[in-house]
Amino acid sequence: PGTDKTYSYHLQKHFVGQVVTMNNINAAERFFRDHFAREQSAFDEKTSQLVFNRNGWEYIVKEHDGRLPILMKAVPKGTVVPIKQVLLTVENPDPKWF
């Protein structure tokens, strides 16, 4: 009653609100370096630099205040949907971030 939106806890925890911070980016970069630096595929062939899109993540912090630029659409909870139909879509409305 009176509810017009329902989010699952998992979606709220990981996608709603400020979910990216500079601390997150630093930790992710360290993790990437520690776990993938020995893999040839972890390096850009042209620059020989680790493939970690730090600039892309910093853009989210600076331009979107750490909120992921995504639009999520789903069929209403409890809707009977035929098989092979989309239940949830996630769209990126920011052409600079993909």
Report if pTM > 0.85: no
Task: Please compute Rg for the chain using Cα positions.
Answer: 18
Q: Distance of CA 23 to CAs 4, 67, 87, 93, 98, Å?
A: 34, 14, 33, 25, 21
Q: What is the mean pLDDT of residues 68-96?
A: 89
Q: What is the pLDDT of residues 8-31, one digit of tens each?
A: 666 777 888 899 999 999 999 888
13 φ/ψ angles, rounded to the nearest 5 degrees:
-60, -40
